[in-house]
Structure 1
Amino acid sequence: MHASFVPPRQVRIGDAAAFVGTTPRAIRHYHEIGLLPEPERGVDGRRRYGYEDMIRLLWIRRMADAGIALEDIRDSFQTGTTSGGAEGGGGVADVLERLEETLTEREAELRRQRAAVERMRTEGSRMGLLSDFVTDRLRNLPEGTLRQADLDALLVTERIFGPLGAAVQATRFIALATHPPLREDSDRVDAAEEALDDGVAVDDPRVARVAAERHAFESALHAVIEESGLDEDDDALFDAWDALHPDPAHDGEDEDDPGSGRREEGSMSAVEAVGKMPYDFSPARQRCMELALELSFQGSPAT
C-alpha cells in the first residue's frame, strides 16, 4: 500500500456491498433478519460499516455461496420456457434443451456445494471456506496454532489478491504458528500498535518507537522465513499456480494490478478493493505504518 494512501475507517453500504460482492438490498435484509447487527450511522443518517462488519459480511457471503441457509448462518453466529408449435415440436425441443442445461448446472452446483460442506467439516468451518490453494498451504500446521484473526486476514487477502496472494501471505502465519517466541513478539508489537489510538498524536515519540519495533520484528520474521526455507515454498507456489491456471494471453502480471489474473473471475481490481475495505487505524497508527515502511526501504539493498 502506498505510504500516502489512507484507507477508509468506515464505508457506506454501497461500497460494503461492492467489496463483498453482494447488493445493498441483501445487506439490508441481513439486518432485518438479525444476521448482521445494525451498524452506527454517520451524521447524514446513513449506515457506516467498519472492519468487523466487513469480516462478518464476507463470511456470510461465503457460507451462503456454499448453500447454507441464511437462518442457519444466523444461528451459527449466535451459537459460534416459451412453448413451440403443437406440430413442429421445435419449441418443445428448445425448452427441453434449456431444461437439461439448467439441471446440469444445478447438478454441478450441488456437487460444488457438497464439496464445500465436506471441506468445511474436514478443515474446520472457517478454514474450509478458503480456497483449496490456500487451505493446502496450511494443512500441516499443528492444531490450534492458527488463530481466527489469521483466517480473517487470509479471507480479506484472498478477496483482494486472489488465492495465490493469500497462499503467499499464509507463509507469515506458518512462521508464527511454528515459532512460538516469534508469535509472542508479534502479539507484543500488535498490542503496541493498537495502543496508538485516537488519543495519541502523530508526533508522539511512541509512534516512532513502535515503528522501529515493527521494523525489527518484520526483519526477524523475514529471517526466520528464509532460514526455514519457507521463501522457497513461496517460489513453488507461483509455479504451481501457473501450472493450474495457464494464461496464454499474458506472459506476466499486469504491473498496475499485482492481483491481475490471480483473483476470482469478475472480481474488482486490487486498487478498487483496497479502497472499499475499511481498517480502523488512527492517524497515529497510520503514521506508524508509514515510518515502518520507510525503515524497511532504508534497510533494503540498493537496486
Structure 2
Amino acid sequence: MSNGLTIGQAATFAGVTVKTVRHYHKLGLVAEPERDSSGYRRYGSAELLRLVQVRTLAAAGVPLAETGPLLDADAEEFATALVAVEQELTSRITELTERRDMLHRLAEGDRALLPDRAVALLERMAGRGFTREEVAASREGLVLARALAPDGLDDYLDALELALDDAPFLALIKQGAEAVDWEPDDPRLEELVDAMADAYLADPQRLKIVTSFQARTETATRYRLISRFGNQSPAGARMADLIEARLRAAGVVIPRG
C-alpha cells in the first residue's frame, strides 16, 4: 500500500482544485513529490503543510509572487510579514463591513442619505402631528444641508430635538409650516414673524435652527439655498426674510443672499 495522498486527495485536503495545485507546482511554490512505484505522485505531510500555507496566504490576499519568499524567510521575517497581512485583512474587513452597512442603508431608504439621528427625528416629526408633505420637505432640506454645510448638521439636529419637546415653540413651527400657503400680504404673517423671532431670541438653542448652518457656510449663497428650502412660496419667502430682518436688527449675524 502506498503512503501519502494523490494529487486529488491533497487538493481536497487543502480546499483547492487539482488545477490550482498544479499551478502552485508550476510557480515553484509547492515542490512536486516524487512518483512512487506505481507511478503516482504521493503527497506527504511536508507537501500538504506547504500546500495549506500557500492556499492560506493566497486567500488572505498575499500575491502568489510574494508567497514563496515569505514562506522561505526566517522566523522573524515571517512573523513580521504575517502581522502586515493581518493588518491588511483587518482593513479589508472594516471596508467590507462599511460596504455591507451601506447596502443595508440603501435598502432602508433615508438611511442612505442621512445619519440615523436625523432619520429618527423625521420619524418623531411624523408623531408630533406634521403632515407627510411637511416631513418630506424637512427630509429634503436635511439632505441639502448635509451636502452643503455638513459641519452644521449636528447643531441643527440638537436644536430640532429640543424644539420637538418644546410645545409652545413647536406650535409656532407648525403654524409656520402652514403659513407657506397663505397669501404673502396676509396680516397674520407679521404677527407670526414677531412671535417666532421673539421665540428664537429668547433661547440660544432655538436660535441655532437659524444660525447653525450659516455659521459654517462659506458663502451667503449656500446659506440662502438651505434657509429658503421649503420656503419657496411667496408667503414662505416673505416670512423667512422678515424673520431674518428681525434677528439682524437684534444683532444676530446672518448672511445676506
TM-score range, shorter chain: 0.3 to 0.5
Which entry has the higher C-alpha Rg, 1 or 2? Answer: 2
